[in-house]
Chain A
Amino acid sequence: MKLKVLIIVFSILAIACNHSDKERKSKEILTETPVNIQYATGFRVSLKEGYPFVEVPRPYQGAEEGFKYLLVPRGEEIPAHDRDVQIVEVPIKSIVCTSTTHIPLLDYINETQSLTGFTTTDYISSANMRSRIDSGYVTELGIDKEMNIERLLELDPEAVMAYTITGDYGQFRKMNQAGIPVLINAEYLERHPLGRAEWIKFMALFFNKTDMADSVFNAIESNYNTMRAKAAKADSMPTLYSGVVYGDTWYLPGGENNAAKLFADAGANYLWQDSTTGFLELSFESVYEKAHDADYWVGVASYNSLEEIKQADQRYSRFDAFKNGNVYSYNARIGATGGNEYLELGYLRPDLILADLIRIFHPELLPDNELYFYEKLN
């Protein structure tokens, strides 16, 4: 990958020149887009007037209009632009985030210190970030969907990174009115696990750290592909099912879900691999009929023991995987204040998830690995 950021600086500064405002007419013009995207489909980057132009065409499932950002180097003149384009002066120095999945993106490009506010900081598990929070550097902004706008305005970050699952943009408009750009992160809609991880490049654009994001991503990608190649050599294809019942409906990932992709890449036969949706909502008995003799049950929400599962619903105990104790949750790492690390770091590190799954399905292939996110229930 050649991802050189080519910056040509036209300097009209003369040493002898006096310090007039005209000095600032200097312009950094890019001739190549700063990032190359391989897996992610949720954002694209092009050049407009020599500046990076970032688009998030689908902020939520079924969205018809997207978000657009023009990244203007700090101090440069802002070119004429359409009304729906948000201007972000880069590199930004402070940011407010709204999802724990945004936190590792900062940590991995060494911008931990740029986070100045977060909604419900207790959910954050990252050790680095926690020590910042505990030292009082991160302002608590209340509940995600009803963020405390007054406190946000007082904090005055240079950008807010947010996600949305609906077209209700009320709060975003208020932030825009206050001159704070809202960066929409739609990583959760990516179908490929590496597509989710690639959103680190999106974060890095605003900090002018795309080179660093590239090397982080390349390492994750290569680790992922090494793992996948290992799993491809397995002799067996164990079967598995996933998810739990809420109300009377069993919710499980569909074939289009990136969990299904991870299961396949780990050399397992996910029984709903061929379904064509992101999520399935099935009756208990139809799941039972298909999966009662499956080898593994992976992803049991927040249950912590087999007994707890049986207590919640005796029907779970009828599955062979339950009887044989092949039940796994992703709750191995709970942060200091109760957050789940899988739900925070997992998006950026599909390679770790894949390694865990291979360790579960084909322990002989990774004899030295310990489970990272996952744990076997007793």
Chain B
Amino acid sequence: MNRSYTIKLTLLLPFSILVLFVVNISLGSVSIPFDEILNVLTGSVASKNSWTNIILNFRLPKAITAIAVGAALSISGLLMQTLFRNPLAGPFVLGISSGASLGVALLLLAGISITGSLVASGLTSWLVVSAASLGSALVLLLVVVVSLKIRDSMTLLIIGLMFGSLTGAIVSILQFFSSGEEIQVYLFWTFGSLGGLNWDEITVLWIIAGLGIAIAFIMVKPLNALLLSENYAQSMGINIKTSRFWIIISTSLLAGSITAFCGPIAFIGIAIPHLTRLLFNTSNHKILIPAVAMGGIIVMLICDIISQLPGSEHVLPINAITSLFGAPVVIWVILRRGSIKHSFSG
């Protein structure tokens, strides 16, 4: 491994994460003195009981969730960009988020009229999580079945996009027939949220995302080979269909779990791999996977700090912030497409 990579990977990025993690926990609507924050983080209590609570039970779970979101979404974005050799692919190209949206919409918009009293926020978050997981699992099952039948990854990409359109249309129809309040609840889910998770949920989120990350690491060799071409990969003795299957499984575990718990969080998955490739100037997944994960964590921590509008009593939806950050990056990527292609062909 090149020495400059080692420094960036083992010093620069981890150090930034540590600093941002502390900053993230220090800032919020309620101003808490920094020494109080350190007291709480080192195991003692703050001078006000409510501060201890805010730090340990509000900000800490939120920051840990942000870390999971950043790592999982950017790795899954990287996997999809490599699999499809397309710089505009992201974690949701195969319809994961639209499948999850469909599940949640069926629960929030259509479920209510069936069960009557399930209205609005009376739902427990586990119900929403299950609906989102089932929805994305269903769409993915279809995609995986298709992926086993066809040879060409581009065809798979188109089919994934079509599934997205289909589910989008069903969600539109459901919205049309729903009351304002129901649509509002659904809409809030699409805004994304990092804050509401309890420790049980965070544990489940990390276990699933961890599994996805582990699979991604195992797939480093096929991923590197796929960047060149599917034929080349085959000539190196890599089974394309098996590799594709596991890459899709890893992506769905990563993007699916995040979407289920936090809503469809935009752009991180598309933008971070590009930023990281530019920083590292490599297409070796052995470096890219950890680098992309850390880059994603850094950006999510920053986005979360911004969305909290420190010092004000208001918050902005996290999805708006990630898009505000991500959209210019994608535009820039398109404008510099030549150099992106370069990094795709190693």
> Measuring CB to CB, which residues of chain A are less than 8 angstroms from any residue of chain B?
120, 143-146, 244-249, 281-286, 288-289, 292-293, 301-304, 308, 311-315, 318, 334, 337-338
Contacts and interface: CB of A to CB of B under 8 A. Distances in A.
Nearest to A143: B177
A274 to B, nearest CB: 14
Nearest to A246: B188
9 contacts: A246-B121, A248-B195, A248-B307, A248-B318, A288-B30, A308-B122, A312-B123, A318-B53, A338-B116
Given A247-B191, A311-B125, A292 B117 contact: no
Given A246-B184, A281-B314, A338-B117, A315 B194 contact: no
A312 B124 contact: yes
A97 B122 CA distance: 28
Interface in B1-58: 28-30, 50, 53-54, 57-58
Interface string B308-333: 11000111011000000000000000
Contacts, number: 110
A3 B188 CA distance: 48
From A143, A315, A338, name the one whose CB has the most chain B CB atoms within 10 angstroms.
A315
A302 B185 CA distance: 12
B169 interface: no
A311 to B, nearest CB: 4
Interface of B: 28-30, 50, 53-54, 57-59, 116-117, 119-126, 176-177, 179-180, 184-185, 188-189, 191-196, 198-199, 307-309, 313-315, 317-318
A301 B121 CA distance: 7
Given A283-B28, A285-B58, A292-B53, A248 B124 contact: no
Dominant secondary structure at the A interface: mixed
Contact of B54 (A249, A282, A285, A337): A285
A311 B28 contact: no
Contacts of A146: 176
A13 to B, nearest CB: 53
Contact of A244 (B121, B124, B189, B315): B121
B188 A247 contact: yes
Nearest to B124: A311
From A144, A145, A246, name the one whose CB has the most chain B CB atoms within 10 angstroms.
A246
Contacts of A303: 121-122
A311 B126 contact: yes
A247 B184 CA distance: 10
A286 B30 contact: yes
Nearest to B195: A248
Contacts of B189: 247
Contacts of A304: 117, 122
Closest 7 CB pairs of A and B: A314-B198, A247-B188, A338-B116, A286-B29, A311-B124, A302-B122, A283-B29
A245 B30 contact: no
Given A247-B189, A286-B30, 4 more contacts: A249-B314, A283-B313, A285-B30, A286-B29
Contact of A313 (B119, B125, B179, B185): B125
Contacts of B50: 288-289, 292-293
A244 B117 CA distance: 17
A312 B196 contact: yes
A284 B195 contact: yes
A143 B181 CA distance: 13
Nearest to B192: A247
Given A247-B188, A289-B54, A301 B120 contact: yes
A317 B117 CA distance: 23
A247 B313 contact: no
A283 B124 contact: no
A120 B308 CA distance: 39
B57 A314 contact: yes
Nearest to B309: A283
Contact of A248 (B121, B177, B313, B317): B317
Contacts of B59: 285
Contacts of B53: 288, 292, 318
A105 B29 CA distance: 43
A315 B117 CA distance: 24
A314 B126 CA distance: 12
Contacts of A282: 29, 313-315
Given A248-B193, A292-B53, A283 B315 contact: yes
Nearest to B31: A289
Contacts of B57: 314-315, 318
Nearest to B184: A246
From B122, B126, B176, B318, name the one whose CB has the most chain A CB atoms within 10 angstroms.
B122
A27 to B, nearest CB: 44
Contact of A302 (B119, B179, B199): B119
Contacts of B314: 249, 281-283
